[in-house]
């Protein structure tokens, strides 16, 4: 029996959410082991009822114009800077994301990067593989401790708070900054809200948890890096363009800060010139949400958003309810 709806998935995701969709829809998944080219994406969205797309698929007016019949583009991500909300709303097309799906895995990853940079884990691993471990050295590979230090959280939303909660075991002082204040978070963790400049000057470790918007583009640039301690570490698991990567390379090279841990980059998958040659930076290919649990949960949330839209309901994580009202 042919199914009522036709859904396109722009890259293979864990099976269980695809099975949920397949219970109600014909599901076609990008057959390639690579993301779609722009041309392929423009072609693939035609004649569908819904599209499950990636954070690397740019959903702009050109794609939306080709997507005649599509009721929803469900992003397989929390961040949605790849989608033009205004253009979708004007066309009555719903957009959704997956808030909450990646919170714990992203906070874990921010800590993984922080450990790796502060205790020079990757550098030490390289060194030992190159056959350099001949004797124990009292001054070899010295790093930084966490106990009693100050963690600066930029953007204390779900992920920022989860990052901060993990600091309690280290007896750290927590500062945070950002547009919103969270009294319950302050009470639970002892965190204090401060101005951006104060946080940058006082924090030993700065972790970024901001969405990418025109206001947060290059939130950390040359001036901000100047304010940080020479022993400070910067962690970015948010979005690459939140940091001016060229300025960061200069700061790391000149020892303006101790190190950085980056899971995201300004022009993914490209790295700013010089970044890969620096020993005091740990680089990961945007894998903060890359756990089976998170990627499955993300898939279920995207699938639920799609099924709601197809049934004519407001998707639980709709980014543009105005489009629903219009529809
Ligand atoms: C990952 O980067 C996400 O936004 O879900």
Give start-end residues of each CATH 3.40.50.720 domain in the chain.
Answer: 5-101+292-326, 103-283
Question: Which residue, by CA, sits nearest to atom 1 of ligand 1?
Answer: 77
Three-class secondary structure of residue 167 per DSSP: helix
| Sheet containing strand 72-75, strands side by side | 25-29, 5-9, 50-53, 72-75, 94-96
pLDDT band of 325, cuts 50, 70, 90: confident
Q: Tell me if 242 sits within 8 A of 219, measured CB to CB.
A: yes
- Per-residue pLDDT of 29-60, as tens digits, reads 999 999 999 999 999 999 999 999 999 999 99
Q: Mean per-residue pLDDT for 160-179? A: 97
Total-model pTM: 0.96
Mean pLDDT, the chain, as a whole number? Answer: 97
pLDDT band at residue 327 under the 50/70/90 scheme? low
Q: Are 278 and 252 in contact (CB under 8 A)?
A: yes
**90 — pLDDT class (breaks 50, 70, 90):** very high
Tell me how far the alpha carbon of residue 165 lies from the centroid of ligand 1, in angstroms: 20
pLDDT digits (tens, 9 = 90+) for 101-124: 999 999 999 999 999 999 999 999
- The first and second tokens of residue 299, run together, are 């898939």
Cα separation, 99 vs 89, whole angstroms: 20
pLDDT value for 3: 82
| pLDDT recorded at residue 210 | 96
- The domain defined by 5-101+292-326 carries CATH number 3.40.50.720: yes
- Residue given tokens 């401060």 in the structure block: 194
Domain 103-283 classification at class level: alpha beta
Atom of ligand 1 nearest to the CA of 101: 5
Determine the atom of ligand 1 nearest the C-alpha atom of 289. 1
CA–centroid distance, 55 to ligand 1, in Å, is: 7
Say if residue 1's pLDDT is above 60: no
């Amino acid at each position: 029996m042919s199914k009522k709806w036709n859904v396109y998935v722009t890259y293979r995701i864990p099976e269980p959410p695809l099975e949920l969709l397949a219970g109600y829809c014909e599901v076609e998944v990008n057959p390639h082991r690579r993301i779609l080219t722009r041309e392929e994406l423009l072609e693939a969205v035609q004649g569908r009822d819904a599209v499950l797309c990636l954070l690397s698929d740019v959903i702009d007016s050109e794609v939306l114009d080709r997507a005649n019949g599509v009721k929803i583009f469900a992003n397989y991500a929390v961040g949605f800077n790849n989608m033009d909300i205004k253009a979708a709303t004007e066309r009555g097309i719903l957009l959704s994301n997956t808030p909450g799906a990646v919170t714990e895995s992203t906070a874990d990853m921010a800590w993984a990067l922080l450990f790796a940079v502060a205790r020079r884990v990757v550098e030490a691993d390289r060194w030992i593989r190159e056959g350099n471990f001949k004797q124990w050295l009292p001054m070899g590979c010295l790093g930084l401790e966490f106990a009693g230090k100050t963690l600066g959280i930029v953007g204390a939303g779900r992920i920022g708070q989860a990052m901060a909660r993990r600091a309690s075991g280290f007896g750290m002082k927590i500062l945070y900054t950002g547009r919103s204040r969270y009294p319950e978070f302050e009470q639970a963790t002892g965190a204090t809200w401060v101005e951006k400049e104060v946080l940058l000057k006082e924090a030993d470790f700065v972790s970024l948890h901001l969405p990418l918007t025109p206001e947060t583009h290059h939130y950390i640039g040359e001036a901000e890096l100047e304010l940080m301690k020479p022993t400070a570490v910067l962690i970015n698991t948010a979005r690459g363009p939140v940091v001016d990567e060229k300025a960061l390379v200069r700061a790391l090279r000149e020892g303006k800060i101790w190190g950085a841990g980056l899971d995201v980059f300004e022009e993914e998958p490209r790295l700013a010139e010089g970044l890969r040659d620096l020993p005091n930076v740990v680089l990961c290919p945007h894998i903060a949400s890359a756990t089976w649990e998170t990627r499955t949960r993300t898939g279920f949330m995207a699938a639920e958003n799609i099924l709601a839209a197809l049934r004519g309901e407001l998707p639980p994580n709709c980014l543009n309810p105005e489009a629903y009202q219009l529809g």
